[in-house]
Amino acid sequence: MHDPRVLLDPATDAVRKLARRGYSLDLGSLEKLLSGRNAAIQRGDEARAEAKRVATAVKGADPDERAALVERARDLKAVVGAAEQEHKALDAELTALLLDVPNLPLDEVPDGASDDDAELVRTWGEPPALDFTPLDHVDLGDRLGILDLPRATKLAGPRFAVLRGRGAALERALARYFLDLATERHGYTEYSVPTLVNRTSMTGTGQLPKFEQDLFKTGVDERELFLIPTAEVPLTNLHAQETLATETLPLAYTAHTPCFRSEAGSYGKDTRGLIRMHEFSKVELVRVVDSTTTRDELEVLVGHAEAVLQGLGLAYRVVKLAAGDLGFSAQITYDLEVWLPGQQKYREIASASDFGTFQARRAAIRTRSKDGTRGFAGTLNSSGLPIGRTMVALLEQGQQADGSVVIPEALVPYTGFDRLTPA
């Protein structure tokens, strides 16, 4: 969430920056709400101050003056009450407006609103040169006997998956491999976190109120709860309403959780297989840092996500998303796109985003330096990686002419097998 004074400052150039991502900021309404709220606060403060003076005067007043002073005290109490009500109402309106305003994109983010407008940053690895017509992961999974989509549909409907035998073992192995890289090589602390969180937590990271239709909601004992779309939500909110000493930063957290997304409005897109699911598992990477270092920390974070793909030998590229394609809370995002022979294209496998202080303001994650300087933390997150999409890439890039799939060498100690063969 933004400081309204910053949005109104001409030096911020908020209207132009938000227009780049397709958002029209109503500065007039923002200024009216802010000035109205501030005026109500001032009226209340002035009335309280006068009420204190009147209360002091009553003690030494003669009977004739006392009656007038008591009447004035009643009037001032009414003024204070009215000012507080107006302040509360205007503050709620202002907060609602600000919660709907997305983050400001950095100037380095390219213009545009689609995948075609993304800026290519680098590529790694060579897509496998296959001398046969490659299959996609669904046909491969069926042939190998490790993926059962019809039974998943019977259990829960479309956009769910059942993994069987070595498919389930591969899923488990990937999670362990990702976590070991994060914790042992890159210094992340592993957490086990709830997959049900409250509205405040969802609001803190920017999923609410704007994207409620994309979430699965439930309740326990009259409590409103949401299934997490990513472990970013509980990991970031571990420090909500806290003040962190800057010398303890950065903090690096990881977790392996199921993730739940309704994918509202996306039907017809990637309906085949494991690309876009209602439920999937993922290892997430979250960094809480000094706000002045977020841009440099993003490069660190992207490197950690790339190391996973490189360790598996998967060909991929890194792109910088266009302003109109950024997530609501991000000020800059790198997408990692892995090559899929079955589709003959690069497809997103992970996103690494720098949120600046946007999430920290919403979640009230503050910082204090040794000299007493206070501020808000910077937050970042990336997939590290999603299990399902990584399986898609492993199956398609590792497929052989005989129908088998070679398992990357780095993963063999986790799987106990180096090849998947047709059932």
pLDDT computed for residue 392 by the predictor:
97
Ranges under pLDDT 50 in the chain: none
Residues 254 and 145 both lie in one domain:
yes
First to last CA, the chain: 52
Classify residue 163: in a domain, yes or no. Answer: yes
Q: Please give the radius of gyration of the chain, using alpha carbons only, rounded to the nearest integer.
A: 27
pLDDT computed for residue 112 by the predictor:
97
pLDDT computed for residue 268 by the predictor:
55
What DSSP state is assigned to residue 115?
A: G
The CA distance from 244 to 267, in Å, is 42
Q: Are 136 and 396 in contact (CB under 8 A)?
A: yes
pLDDT computed for residue 67 by the predictor:
80
Give one word for 313, left, alpha or beta, with left for phi > 0 and alpha for psi -120 to 50.
left
276 annotated active-site:
yes
The CA distance from 396 to 242, in Å, is 45
Residues 291 and 388 both lie in one domain:
yes
Residues 48 and 127 both lie in one domain:
no
The CA distance from 189 to 167, in Å, is 28
Residue whose token pair is 């209602």: 278
In 168-323, beta strands by DSSP E: 189-190, 196-197, 216-220, 223-227, 243-245, 251-260, 279-289, 316-320
Q: Is 153 exposed, middle or buried (0-12, 13-18, 19+ CB in 10 A)?
A: middle
389 annotated active-site:
yes
pLDDT computed for residue 265 by the predictor:
57
Q: Note the pTM of the prediction, 2 decimals.
A: 0.93
261 annotated active-site:
yes
pLDDT computed for residue 29 by the predictor:
96
Classify residue 248: in a domain, yes or no. Answer: yes
pLDDT computed for residue 222 by the predictor:
87
Q: Which one of 50, 86, 348, 366 is the catalytic residue?
A: 348
Which residues does the annotation place in the binding site?
230-232, 261-263, 284, 348-351, 383
Classify residue 108: in a domain, yes or no. Answer: no
How do residues 267-303 score in pLDDT, each as one tens digit?
556 667 899 999 999 999 999 999 999 999 999 999 9
Classify residue 263: in a domain, yes or no. Answer: yes
List the one residue out of 417, 347, 415 whose CA is nearest residue 385: 347
Q: Which residues pair with 333 in a beta bridge?
A: 353
The CA distance from 271 to 283, in Å, is 23
> Which domain CATH number covers 265?
3.30.930.10
CA angle 62, 64, 70 (to 5 degrees): 90
Residues 301 and 371 both lie in one domain:
yes
Residue after which a domain boundary falls, among 100, 128, 157:
100
Q: How many domains does the chain have?
A: 2
pLDDT computed for residue 271 by the predictor:
67
185 annotated active-site:
no
Residues 124 and 34 both lie in one domain:
no
Residue after which a domain boundary falls, among 100, 135, 165:
100
Residue after which a domain boundary falls, among 42, 68, 100:
100
pLDDT computed for residue 221 by the predictor:
86
Which residues does the annotation place in the binding site for L-serine?
230-232, 284, 383
Classify residue 107: in a domain, yes or no. Answer: no
Q: Helix-strand-coil percent breakdown of the chain, rounded to 5?
A: 45, 20, 35
Residues 8 and 151 both lie in one domain:
no
User: In sequence order, which residues have a C-beta less than 8 Å from that of residue 315 and are 6 or more positions away?
Assistant: 123, 124, 125, 126, 127, 128, 338, 339, 397
Q: Are 299 and 324 in contact (CB under 8 A)?
A: no
List the one residue out of 367, 186, 182 whose CA is nearest residue 288: 367
How do residues 254-265 score in pLDDT, each as one tens digit?
999 999 999 765
pLDDT computed for residue 220 by the predictor:
84
Classify residue 105: in a domain, yes or no. Answer: no
Classify residue 164: in a domain, yes or no. Answer: yes
- Domain residue limits at 261: 115-420
Q: Which one of 66, 164, 172, 276 is the catalytic residue?
A: 276
pLDDT computed for residue 423 by the predictor:
79
Residues 124 and 84 both lie in one domain:
no
Q: Which one of 166, 261, 347, 362 is the catalytic residue?
A: 261
72 annotated active-site:
no
pLDDT computed for residue 63 by the predictor:
76
Residues 94 and 213 both lie in one domain:
no
> Which domain CATH number covers 11?
1.10.287.40
Please tell me the number of Cα atoms within 13 Å of 35 on its side-chain side: 7
Classify residue 109: in a domain, yes or no. Answer: no
pLDDT computed for residue 365 by the predictor:
98
Mean pLDDT for all residues in the chain: 95
How many Cβ atoms from other residues are within 10 Å of residue 9's Cβ? 11
Residues 91 and 167 both lie in one domain:
no
pLDDT computed for residue 57 by the predictor:
87
Which residues does the annotation place in the binding site for ATP?
261-263, 348-351
Tell me how far CA of residue 307 lies from CA of 120, 298, 384, in angstroms: 18, 14, 9
Residues 324 and 226 both lie in one domain:
yes
pLDDT computed for residue 269 by the predictor:
60
Residues 342 and 226 both lie in one domain:
yes
The CA distance from 310 to 4, in Å, is 43
pLDDT computed for residue 1 by the predictor:
82
Strands 332-340 and 189-190: unpaired
Residues 48 and 126 both lie in one domain:
no
Please tell me the number of Cα atoms within 13 Å of 29 on its side-chain side: 11
